[in-house]
Amino acid sequence: MENAEASFLDITFDHALATTLTTFHDLSDDDHDEVLELDLALDVGDISHVDDTETRQAIWDTRRKFNPDAPTGDDMISQLGHLDDAIDDGRSLRVWISNDPSDLCGYYWLCARLAGNMAGEVFTVNVTRHAMKLMGVYKRNTIGDMSLDELVNQINNVTSVNGLTLRDIKHIWDVLVAENAPLRVNVNGVIISVADSFYDQFVYASVQDTPTKLSAVVELTIEAGPGGMPLWWYLSRIDTLVANQMIEYVGDERDVADAEVKRVTQN
């Protein structure tokens, strides 16, 4: 396996991809084994003061309710501190992104932070959620599903980001911050601000009058809607629809593998 460029500091907004990148560097036996995992979930919630972690804590707590393996608030504070150090040291950054809202919002935020404050070089690796297999093309749930072999094929396929691009992207982020909607989604390649109930119509349409597996409901919702949101978000919205008495759990709702839901019968 070829060594990664030692001058790069890898940044990802996806927890699983951070693990894969760390494994890659370990196997490469190089001295470049630091990966910044900025899984800030900036597609969801208040983004007016990202560095003020109190404004993000509720989102991170909700994420861990449905995904106990997700990073904690303390993890994010630590990673943000490492980012500050990297910027101060003029490190060159290699940023891994996809078209998922969490990746794009994270990238926009990072560009806004670097604009006018860039000492090192910035590069991106754009990863599609579509990949080739022996039986044809398949779609990853997230770029975190990328295998180690796929990562090796992409790791040096980088695009340079100049200062002008950073400033242009900062403007996009500034608009999103001004809107500060509860949710940001990717519609036809453009990140737009929407209400947190945006996906509820797709979730409800995927629930039947008879019990349906929770996993099947999420899969149908992903197919029907714009997609790109993490599993924990869909599960949180299902909880909201249950609280609003539009649907109900059948069995143990804490068991994602076996739980079922159905529509509430209206009298």
159 vs 257, residue with greater confidence? 159
The percent of residues above 70 in pLDDT, for the chain, comes to: 87
18 vs 136, residue with greater confidence? 18
Q: What is the pLDDT of residues 194-216, one digit of tens each?
A: 999 999 999 999 999 999 999 89
The H or E element containing residue 263 is strand 260-263
Q: What is the pLDDT of residues 172-189, one digit of tens each?
A: 999 999 999 999 999 888
Asked whether the beta carbons of 91 and 120 are under 8 A apart, the reply is yes
CB atoms within 10 A of CB 244: 12
- Widest Cα–Cα separation across the chain: 66
41-50, 144-153, 192-201: least confident range = 144-153
Q: Which of 257, 248, 247, 255 is nearest to 216 (CA)?
A: 257
Say what the pLDDT of residue 137 is.
43
18-22, 159-163, 242-246, 252-256: least confident range = 252-256
CB atoms within 10 A of CB 226: 16
Rounded Cα distance between 197 and 217, Å, is 16
Q: Is the pLDDT of residue 258 over 90?
A: no
The percent of residues above 90 in pLDDT, for the chain, comes to: 54
Helices 231-243 and 54-66: crossing angle, nearest 10°?
A: 90
Q: Which of 200, 197, 205 is nearest to 263 (CA)?
A: 205
Q: Is the pLDDT of residue 136 over 50?
A: no
Structure tokens, 56: 């993000």
Q: What is the pLDDT of residues 54-113, one digit of tens each?
A: 889 999 999 999 889 899 989 999 999 999 999 999 999 999 998 889 999 999 999 999
